[in-house]
Structure 1
């Protein structure tokens, strides 16, 4: 399921997630190293033409990780200070490298990234938002493909 599918199924949560990612340029990507241990690195993301795109420098370790094992988790930059305006947002899924010259050319036209670069299209497996409501409730929203958003409220 791509970003357009998620946005169509859950427009309010999708809008909130995009706003959180749009608030800052750099975010945190978690990938899996060759030995299975986690690697976290910074990167920029783009929501464009119904897709969530991950662009990376050529032969970066995170790109190599995704080429070997496409599973990832992406966390929006929490920003400065103690509060998370808009909540804590994470997206999990699989990243598939784009090698089609036409698709890459359209991306280059819109984004103008430094070249050469790796470009990955994402397939979503989970979207999570954790926020505080009324200064006393912890609210966890979880979405998975084919399921409605599940909301859990804790005091």
Structure 2
């Protein structure tokens, strides 16, 4: 089961706002994809939230685009920022990337974002959103959301 960003944001607005704020705090994040041999590849990427979707745009014929075209599974880790504060916690999103081939959708994205062209554009289908943070320097809190279920919160001391 998977959901787009809007479905997640509607189901869990507070967590969605926190996650989106963490991604918007920095431009560059880390995308994990799977190479042809199944081993992981990590790459820098910009994540874009617009029109109820989480978009991933990338250079034409890049290795990460090739990876996603072959196997759409991904994990996206928000940039933790400088130092050790990680305001808002550590957030990551997992799911599948669906390449956009519709010229109208791609054209609208290019018009709004003005990325270098040509490009690959993927919209995401979320399978998991996770936020990890520390409370009072004593508790580690992990929030996990999966489509069709409420947020599950785990606390560890």
TM-score (norm 1): 0.99
The residue aligned with 1:15 is 17
How far, CA to CA, are the matches of 1:75 and 1:111 in structure 2? 21
Give structure 1 regions of 4+ aligned residues with deviation exceeding 6 angstroms.
Answer: none
- Shift of residue 135, structure 1, vs aligned partner: 1.6
- Shift of residue 110, structure 1, vs aligned partner: 1.0
Structure 2 gap segments, 5+ residues each: none
Q: Does 1:140 align with 2:109?
A: no
TM-score (norm 2): 0.98
The residue aligned with 1:111 is 113
How many pairs are equivalent? 155
- Shift of residue 96, structure 1, vs aligned partner: 0.5
The residue aligned with 1:6 is 8
How far, CA to CA, are the matches of 2:45 and 2:19 in structure 1? 16
How far, CA to CA, are the matches of 1:11 and 1:82 in structure 2? 26
Deviations 1:33-72 (A, max 9, x none): 0000000000001000000000000000000000000000
How far, CA to CA, are the matches of 1:41 and 1:71 in structure 2? 14
Which of the numbers 116, 130, 133 marks the counterpart of 1:131? 133
Superposition RMSD on alpha carbons, in Å? Answer: 0.5
